[in-house]
Amino acid sequence: MEGVLDHLMRDLLTQVGGYDLCVTEFVRVVDQVISDRAFYRYCPELIYSDVYGSRTKAGTPVRVQLLGQHPEYMAENAAKVIELGSSGIDINFGCPAKAVNKNRGGAVLLKDPENLYQIVKAVKDAVPNDVTVSAKIRLGYEDKSLAIENGQAVEAAGANELTVHARTKLEGYKPPAHWHWIAKIKNEISIPVIANGDIWSLEDARKCREVSGCKDIMVGRGALTIPNLGKVIKQESDLISWSEVQTLLLAYTEFETRGDKSKYFPNRIKQWLKYLKNHYTEADALFSEIRTLKTADDIRAIL
Ligand SMILES: Cc1cc2nc3c(=O)[nH]c(=O)nc-3n(C[C@H](O)[C@H](O)[C@H](O)COP(=O)(O)O)c2cc1C
């Protein structure tokens, strides 16, 4: 999740456990090959990938996500990311951001399945055969009329996996997610399909699996609301307690205030508390206390 789920959050959440794979924030590809430095910034897990593979400290694989509209540059960057050691490539066809869509990236590409085919094919052809290439789509741009064709285009182009966020671009993040539409796509293709959208609890995960027919699921905001959601869904643990969340908040503070990161920290921690508030009433109180604070030191003192 762009601007929220960076490598530090990945580290923290995968240490809590329950997550089998992480995808980076999207890396925007326009018309050039991106520098090693930029890829390392989005995915520092690549730096020691020759020793550990592209993994978080807890050992969870990390896949770099690319977003772009030009098949040739997507392909060149995909090949580079694989050389740098990424655990596969994920291609973003779901981003609803105006700035991105205006430049013909993200969800706007869903208007024509041929766009998806050309990009996925170029990427797949540019990387070794055994590299996993996944694509993430929404159900469409304005409506769902091309949902199945888009899924089929991704498969025909050679992708190994498809993740479906069960909303159109127009539906944004508004509930509900239309899990039954994932089933419609899944029924027409044979690559593994991963269901995504509005999975906030074990109950949601159960329902989503039942309705979509998917074994595999992806969680986004839910993992920021309940940090051990992966384990809860796998029934490996109960919900993490508020005091355990507090320990995580302190660890996050420790991470996120090193070096020049302090300037982002106040916004980042407030953003996380907004998600935590959905489940923990204590987060609401804490959020009120720090809402107007602007420096990392002031917030740290309250924490
Ligand atoms: C702040 C924010 C940033 C996001 N950034 C990305 C991104 O970089 N790449 C991506 O594929 N999806 C991104 N998403 C979409 C989520 O991955 C996910 O598909 C969506 O939130 C629905 O799942 P959820 O209900 O589990 O959150 C983002 C969502 C949010 C709210």
Per-residue pLDDT of the chain (303 residues; tens, 9 = 90+): 998 999 999 999 999 999 999 999 999 999 999 999 999 999 999 999 999 999 999 999 999 999 999 999 999 999 999 999 999 999 999 999 988 888 888 999 999 999 999 999 999 999 999 999 999 999 999 999 999 999 999 999 999 999 999 999 999 999 999 999 999 999 999 999 999 999 999 999 999 999 999 999 999 999 999 999 999 999 999 999 999 999 999 999 887 777 666 778 899 999 999 999 999 999 999 999 999 999 888 999 999
Query: At CA 55, angle to CA 173 and CA 118, rounded to 5?
Result: 55
With the most atoms of ligand 1 within 8 angstroms of its CB, the residue from 2, 67, 89 to mutate is 2
The pTM score is: 0.96
CA torsion sign for 43, 48, 53, 58 is negative
Question: Closest residue (by CA) to atom 3 of ligand 1?
Answer: 1
Please state, in angstroms and rounded to a whole number, the distance separating the CA atoms of residues 38 and 208: 36
What was the pLDDT predicted at 16? 96
Q: How far is the CA of 301 from the centre of ligand 1 (A)?
A: 31
What tokens appear for 133 in the block?
A: 């290439």
Q: How remote is the C-alpha of 69 from its chain's centroid?
A: 19
Q: Is 198 in the pocket of ligand 1 (CB under 6 A)?
A: yes
Q: Is 1 in the pocket of ligand 1 (CB under 6 A)?
A: yes
53 within 8 A of 76, measured Cβ to Cβ: no
Q: Could you say which of 22, 43, 95, 208 is catalytic?
A: 95
What was the pLDDT predicted at 259? 67
With the most atoms of ligand 1 within 8 angstroms of its CB, the residue from 164, 165, 202, 212 to mutate is 165
Q: How remote is the C-alpha of 243 from its chain's centroid?
A: 27
- Catalytic residue flag (residue 95): yes
Give the C-alpha distances (Å, rounded to integers) separating 195 from 152, 155, 182, 256, 267: 16, 16, 7, 31, 30
- Contacts of 108-114 with C-beta under 8 Å, sequence gap 24+, read 108/141, 108/169, 109/69, 110/137, 110/138, 110/140, 110/141, 110/146, 110/150, 110/169, 111/141, 111/146, 112/146, 113/146, 113/149, 113/150, 113/152, 113/153, 114/153
